[in-house]
Structure 1
Amino acid sequence: MGEEMGLRERKKMRMYQEVSAVAVRLFMEKGFDAVSVAEVAAAAGISKPTLFRYFPAKEDLVLQQIADHEGEAARVVTGQVRPVDALRRHFLDGLDRCDPITGLNDDPGVLAFHSLLYGTPALVARLYGYLERSEDALAEALGGGLDARLAAAQIIAVQRILAQENWRRVVAGEGVERIREDAVAAAERAFGRLETLIEIETR
């Protein structure tokens, strides 16, 4: 039974990824507003009702690409005595690996995806829901309560602003290696300030 459930979940996740990839390709080619949900369903070889079972909103077809990162901050701090330092190290490791979530990545496909995401008002609006869920998960990992919620909001905002600044410079034509030193220094400063402001331990 467990193996059957595991197989079913893997098939479901594969469906999410495959349909999302088809949708993102179409949105990049024609524009988000120019592509209908019915067109995505046809291209993915599924019915429109089936697509809506997996993706309640058209915007979710795009945000599926970053869904794995939604609870990432919460996972990083769980069990850590110094959660902000753990997040700092995690972000710096992302910069070292040119993880797209840090904004420090000049792969054409990544740049096109970010342009789609940040250049489409409907997607930007939907992104706020994603950020709120990330904050909620992080606040819970930090122990819950108002202090944890305030801390989570500051942390998520810092990560978002750092990534957007890196992405802005990459789009402007600066090379990744040229940006990296500044990106690391900015992250060190930002997380250092957070650590002096936030005195909270995880459960």
Structure 2
Amino acid sequence: MGTERGLRESKKQETRRLISDHATRLFIEQGFEATTIAEIAAAARVAKKTVTNYFPRKEDLALDHHEAFTQSLARVVAGLAPGEPPLPALGRAFRATLVGHSPVAGFTGPEFARMVADSPTLTARLRELHDRREEALAEALAAASPGTVPSIAPRATAALIAAADRLLFRRIQELTLAGRTNDEIEAELTPEADHVYGLLLAAVGPGAGGGPAAP
């Protein structure tokens, strides 16, 4: 039974990747708004209903890392040891995504970045995902905060961190669209991220963080 479930899950993941890959190719070739679910289904050789079962929103076909994106900051905080300040851990996590050229940090390649930038729908969806990321972070910070802090403190800290995160994400996209390679972007963003995290430390204080984004 376990083997059978594993095969079914593997098949589902394979189908999901197939649909997502064909959707991304069509979005880049034709533009997001101009591409239909029917065209994606035909390219992937599946029914339209299969596409919408895996991806209820058309935007999720393009931004298919949305769950990892919205939860990534919160997961770092949730994994902290008792009393460990979140800011250094978040800085290290960002550095890891920078070194790994992760799509979660904004490394998407120039064609994909241009496709998103040219689509009002995807641009709006990305703003929504940033907002959801901030909300998830605020909840994680609240859960990790001592009861003595003001109730607004986790939300205020999350707002500052999320604003910095948006800035760094946009900076990576900006450099991508300017034709810079991933290695060049990493080299330029490393000191910039350290500077941003230094500003965060000054803003939130040592109780919420302990240093810049250095490993």
1:51 aligns with 2:44: no
Distance 1:174 1:47 in 2: 39
Distance 1:66 1:110 in 2: 17
RMSD: 2.5
**In the alignment, is the contact (CA less than 8 A) between 2:117 and 2:123 conserved in 1?**
yes
1:99 aligns with 2:98: no
Distance 2:203 2:5 in 1: 44
Kindly indicate which of the two structures has a greater share of residues assigned to helix. 1
> Tell me, what secondary structure is at the counterpart of 2:63?
helix
1:163 aligns with 2:169: yes
**In the alignment, is the contact (CA less than 8 A) between 2:114 and 2:177 conserved in 1?**
no
Q: Aligned AA for 1:152? A: A
Larger radius of gyration: 2
**1:30-82 Cα shifts (integer Å, max 9, x gaps):** 11122111111111122112222222221111111454332111112223212
1:147: how far off? 2.3
**In the alignment, is the contact (CA less than 8 A) between 2:77 and 2:141 conserved in 1?**
yes
Q: Which one of 188, 191, 194 corresponds to residue 200 of structure 2?
A: 194
Aligned residue number for residue 157 of structure 2: 151
Distance 1:69 1:178 in 2: 23
1:175: how far off? 4.8
1:124: how far off? 0.9
Q: Aligned AA for 2:31? A: G
1:176: how far off? 4.7
Query: TM-score, length-normalised on structure 1?
Result: 0.82
1:184 aligns with 2:190: yes
Aligned residue number for residue 37 of structure 1: 37
**Kindly tell me: are residues 176 and 59 of structure 1, through their superposed partners in 2, closer, same or farther at Cα, counting changes over 3 Å?**
closer
Q: Which runs of 5+ in 2 are unaligned?
A: 144-150, 210-215
Percent identity over the alignment is 38
Query: TM-score, length-normalised on structure 2?
Result: 0.78
1:150: how far off? 2.6
**In the alignment, is the contact (CA less than 8 A) between 1:37 and 1:48 conserved in 2?**
yes
**In the alignment, is the contact (CA less than 8 A) between 1:24 and 1:62 conserved in 2?**
yes
**1:129-183 Cα shifts (integer Å, max 9, x gaps):** 2222222221221125532223223222212211221331233234555554431
Aligned residues: 197
Distance 2:86 2:117 in 1: 29
**Kindly tell me: are residues 93 and 119 of structure 1, through their superposed partners in 2, closer, same or farther at Cα, counting changes over 3 Å?**
same
**In the alignment, is the contact (CA less than 8 A) between 2:32 and 2:119 conserved in 1?**
yes
Q: Aligned AA for 1:137? A: A
